[in-house]
Structure 1
């Protein structure tokens, strides 16, 4: 992107960082680039940004360093999370469920894993391996639950759920993931930044981290002790995920204190009015 000098560029970014970003990455495992070229391109792009949104104090420190950002940081919370605090969020949730034609009376599990940088055969051709055992999930949870799968677009096209009609739904192409948060009773994820946003709803989360050691040490690396901070269990087998969900009410109680601490650290700025703060911040900056 080459912007004109008189154009103001607001970079919204797309999440609170767990995985190392930009200039903080030691190695880059992506097709079509290498570490040196990736960082050079990243730095050049960041120099185009006039304003950068931050969801919390934790992110602000990382963004400034990892992006070598020299513009104005707007520490406002994320406008995209305003929906999660909307006064009519319950009514909106019902409308969203109807639009997706989900069966009434079933609880909703949202599975939203991260993109793995090394899941490629070559540039433009990607591997796909769903580790969740949907057959077992349907057998043991199907009376009470349905599953929504939100996969990265580069691998979603390989997803075939025809054998799980009425239980598993592909929502990878759904426009606004915040609306999927709103209709979900619990979240299964891994290292995706979705869990920072989902925490605003105070609903159970579990982390299906079957490749934790590889991901943390080889692919990206983390900014904090993942297991010590996240407000839910780290599970490596599909049957462990199912066991936990079968006893979700009891199991999730053990994470209440961690959940509160997590929200205080990462979620304190969001209150449904972040969009207004961003607009106000932009106009104040322009007047100056």
Structure 2
């Protein structure tokens, strides 16, 4: 019922928006990706800095049924509407720039096991109708996206993604990051970040219960004190960045350990940072099925894959390619004990070779300024 009402709300706003005239050199960015590698937010920062001749408005969170009319007028007046999720525009003459929010590793749309046929048909029509330019990084990206949302090949342009421009340099130093998150200094520090995917869709109350109790690995052998000691012994620090929904399940402020820190959106919003702007200060990534690892390949640093819920995830939603152990460019672990064993030897030549292989396969626009390429492609459509 809620989804039906929301669609009616959008239709009403579109109708009202048709009475607002479009203005050249106005851009609106509908950002649904928060601050965790948001193409929308980082492209917004780029436009503000590099193209002050354009008036750019950031609308977030998106989608939302609580936007003021002033925001809707901005959306209706924009020549360019940039989206990170489903394509959207009000006027047919507007240009929708679709940035999406991650390289498709997980099944979605018509390829997913947990979607409805009617919804998939509706979404495919929206992509066909509204998307004018879809940012791409490779042939593989285009193949995977089109398999999920049935989008036409001619809509893609290989510009790369804005978030990748912000990976290799950070607005804060490594020393400052350690101080902000761990409250200490350590010249020998090696910093890792753990970013799992959204595990709520596994539809397993036991997993959510474990996470709510602080077991962020959701592993049977989780012992946070032992994990902290293992990290401390090696001068290693682990930043834990969970999905906002999972962070709400427990109070991270009540979990205080010297070598573990929880990164929440409050810190990122307060300091006007996106997560990707901090990754240059990290030495390794740990994830499960999150597509962040494709982007992390830009840094050519070790990646560890936690697959303790692989079977459940594959059954509930599924992955677009596999077998999982053969396609991920790093060691696969299934428990805290497995993870700790990897800490003494984070990188091996075989994993370096795999990273380079997957980087070349997933990014055919290397060593370029992705924001510049996107801006050129976007504005070229209206010349």
- Give the TM-score normalised by structure 1: 0.84
Deviation at 1:38, TM superposition (A): 3.2
From the superposition, tell whether residues 35 and 128 of structure 1 become closer, same or farther in structure 2 (CA, over 3 Å). Answer: farther
Which of the pair has more CA radius of gyration?
Answer: 2
The equivalent of 2:202 in structure 1 is: 118
Is residue 164 of structure 2 the alignment partner of residue 164 of structure 1? no
User: Deviation at 1:69?
Assistant: 1.9
- C-alpha distance in 2 between matches for 1:91 and 1:267: 25
Choose from 229, 239, 256 the match for 1:139: 229
Give the match for residue 31 of structure 1: none
Deviation at 1:39, TM superposition (A): 1.3
From 304, 309, 315, give the equivalent of 1:211: 309
**Take 1:68 and 1:248, find their aligned partners in 2: how far apart are those partners?**
39
Q: Which residue of 1 aligns with 2:124?
A: 43
Greater relative contact order (CA < 8 Å, ≥ 6 in sequence): 1
In structure 2, which of residues 115, 118, 137 is the aligned counterpart of residue 55 of structure 1? 137
Cα RMSD over matched residues?
Answer: 2.4
Q: Which deviations, in whole Å up to 9, do the C-alpha atoms of 1:66-99 show, x marking residues without a partner? A: 22224621211111101224xxx26744376167
Q: TM-score with structure 2 length normalisation?
A: 0.65
The 8 Å contact of residues 109 and 185 in structure 1, kept in 2 or not, is answered as yes
The alignment status of 1:152 with 2:239, answered yes or no, reads no
Does structure 1 residue 68 correspond to structure 2 residue 171?
A: no
CA distance in 2, matches of 1:93, 1:262: 29
Cα 1:101–1:221 shift into 2, 3 Å: closer
Unaligned runs of 5+ in 1: 29-33
Equivalences, count: 272
Alpha-carbon spacing, 1:179–1:219, altered in 2? closer, same or farther (3 Å): same
Runs of 4+ in 1 over 6 A off after TM superposition: none
1:201 to 296, 299, 302: 299
Alignment of 1:259-270 (within 5 A): 259-270=355-366
8 Å CA contact 2:202–2:312 kept in 1: the answer is no
CA separation in 1, counterparts of 2:337 and 2:331?
13
| Structure 2, gaps ≥5 residues long | 1-9, 15-89
Contact 1:208 1:236 in 2 (8 A): yes
Quickly say closer, same or farther: Cα 1:19–1:230, change in 2 above 3 A. Answer: same
What's the offset of the Cα at 1:189? 0.2
